[in-house]
Amino acid sequence: MEDNIIKQIATDFFFKWYNSPGQNTSEGFDKWWEKHKSDYPNTSNKDTERLDFLQNKTVGYGAGWVLRDSTFGRGMRLHESSLGTSTDVREAIDIYMKAK
C-alpha cells in the first residue's frame, strides 16, 4: 500500500478517534475500519484473497504444492504434485523464492 494512502487512512481515523468521546479506545479503529474501508479501494489485499482461494482448492493430490520451473523452459508451474514440497501454497512459493 502506498504511503499517501496509509497517511490518509491514519489521518481520517485520528480525527474521528480524537473527536469522539467514548469511541477513542483500542477497539475504535476496528469498528471505524469496518465502516469505512470501502472508502479506500486501493487497500484491498488481492494477493491474500488469491492465495486463500488456491489454498482452499487443495484436493490433496500427491505430496502437496510445488512451485517449479517448467521442464521445457516455458515459465513456472504452481500445482499440487507427487513431488510437492508443502501442504501450504504460501510455503511452496517461499521455498521456490529461497532457492532462487
Would you place residue 89 in the very low, low, confident or very high pLDDT band (cuts 50, 70, 90)? very high
What is the widest separation between alpha-carbon atoms in the chain?
64
In this predicted structure, which of 24-28, 33-37, 73-77, 78-82 has the lowest mean pLDDT? 24-28
Note the pLDDT of residue 8. Answer: 80
Residue 73 has pLDDT above 80, yes or no: yes
Q: Report, as an integer, the average pLDDT of 81-99.
A: 89
Cell of 94: 517461499
For residue 24, what is the DSSP state? -
Instruction: Give yes or no for a contact between 65 and 88, defined as CB atoms under 8 angstroms apart.
Output: yes
The average confidence (pLDDT) of the chain is 80
Per-residue pLDDT reduced to its tens digit, 20-43 = 666 556 666 777 777 877 777 666
Domain boundaries in the chain? 3-44, 47-99
